[in-house]
A and B are shown apart, each in its own frame.
Chain A
Amino acid sequence: MTKQEFVNRVMPVKDKLFRLARRILNETDAEDVVQEAFVKLWSKQAEISAYRSVEAFAMVVTKNLCLDKIKSKAYQTGGLDEWNAPVDYKSPDKMTELKNDVEMAHLAIASLPELQRMIIQLRDVEEMEYEEISEVLQMNLNAIRVNLSRARKAVRDQLKKMHDYEYNGN
């Protein structure tokens, strides 16, 4: 595979890799990890064929690099930098309210264990099939479902508590 072919094949995945890295690391480190992942993928081209897709292999490499990085330092994930409100919420009050809610959801997801965060990212953000997630995380399907269910419920319960506290004062 020539370098150009490699770039054409792998470059489209860069946004997903960045989002996965950002789910675990801060923005600067996420960018560094994605660059490192590309270099690693280039040097391991022969292994790509062993995976279902280039995307799955790229995800595995990025995930491992993120975990390596997180082991070496104490990390705090980034906050909500970009904000795209749905069209119907353009009234200032509603938008501020929703932004606040989404910020809380973001915090709730950020407070989850690393593995659960990754599973939420792959399923609910990147919309990957369970089989693909299983390949990326090298876990069985049942374990993924169990962890995802726990993660989703944990986020829901945490948000309920925050809402109750913020809007009802309970």
Chain B
Amino acid sequence: MNTTEIKILLEKYYACETSLDEEKILKTYFTSGRVDENLRVHTSIFTCLKNESSIKPADELEDKILEKLHAAARIPFYRNRIFWIYSTGIAASILFIFTFVFEMQNQKTNTLHSNLSHSEKNTKIAYEQTKIALAYVSEKYVRGTEPLSEVAKFSKSTIAVNELVKIGNEINTINHNMNKMGSGVDNLSKLSKFSIIVKP
């Protein structure tokens, strides 16, 4: 690849428009040792990047990791930090829920109590008001019934009239009976006349 092409690719590289393959071309070019002196700055960058990718940890790291994994597997679950974090979290949540529910219940009871005492007060007031109203009504009623005593007299007189009517009826009955008796007497007199005739 010639310098011009590399320069174009470099432009793309700094604008992050290159693919991984194009970046590999740049890396290969700049670490080849045959680089244009004007592009020296880029040589140092790509050499540094290539150098970085070949860095490896110490050989003991793998042993250390395995040792740590064994140790982690040996730790009983209750000695595990995560176990305690989760347990504490769950316990705190339960405690919070209980506190919340208890507080809600308390609030409900308090509201009920306050509502009751409030309604009790209201009832007393209503009772007093009703008492006053009823006293007023009864006073008016009593005053209103006074003229009705005359009506009572009227009813008394109607009783007397009824008695008179009864007496009248009885008299009528007596009259009726008397009439019957009269007619009976007539018949008897007729019968006596007949017997006189029949008597020798």
The answer on a CB contact under 8 Å between B41 and A35 is no
Closest A residue to B71 using CB positions: A39
The answer on a CB contact under 8 Å between A88 and B56 is no
Q: Evaluate whether A42 and B69 lie within 8 angstroms (CB atoms) in the complex, with A14-B57, A35-B64, A86-B31 already known.
A: yes
Flag B37-71 by CB within 8 Å of A: 1 or 0 each. 00011111101111111111110011011101100
- Which listed segment binds A: B9-17, B144-152, B170-178, B183-191? B9-17
The answer on a CB contact under 8 Å between B65 and A101 is no
Point out the residues of chain A lying under 8 angstroms from B57, CB to CB. 14-15, 18, 30-31, 34
A159 at the interface (CB under 8 A from B): yes
- Chain A interface main SS type: helix
Closest A residue to B53 using CB positions: A125
CA distance A86 to B68 in the complex (A): 37
CA distance A85 to B44 in the complex (A): 11
Flag A12-38 by CB within 8 Å of B: 1 or 0 each. 001100110011000000110011101
A3 at the interface (CB under 8 A from B): yes
**Interface size, chain B (Cβ < 8 Å):** 39
Flag A102-144 by CB within 8 Å of B: 1 or 0 each. 1011100100000000001100111101000000000000000
B198 at the interface (CB under 8 A from A): no
* B48 CB contact (under 8 Å) in A15, A19, A87, A109: A109
The answer on a CB contact under 8 Å between B40 and A19 is no
Point out the residues of chain A lying under 8 angstroms from B61, CB to CB. 14, 18, 31, 34-35
CA distance A144 to B55 in the complex (A): 24
B82 at the interface (CB under 8 A from A): yes
The answer on a CB contact under 8 Å between A22 and B33 is no
CA distance A88 to B58 in the complex (A): 28
A170 at the interface (CB under 8 A from B): no
Point out the residues of chain B lying under 8 angstroms from A102, CB to CB. 44, 47-48, 51
The answer on a CB contact under 8 Å between B56 and A15 is yes
CA distance A19 to B55 in the complex (A): 7
* B16 CB contact (under 8 Å) in A34, A104, A148, A155: A148
| Nearest CB of chain B from residue A55's CB, rounded to whole Å | 15
CA distance A19 to B61 in the complex (A): 13
The answer on a CB contact under 8 Å between B51 and A11 is no
Point out the residues of chain A lying under 8 angstroms from B49, CB to CB. 120, 124-125
CA distance A19 to B48 in the complex (A): 13
Residues of B with Cβ closer than 8 Å to A? 13-16, 20, 23-24, 31-34, 40-45, 47-58, 61-62, 64-66, 68-69, 72-73, 82
Known: A18-B61, A102-B51; 6 extra A-B contacts, CB below 8 A, are A34-B65, A102-B44, A105-B48, A129-B20, A149-B16, A152-B16
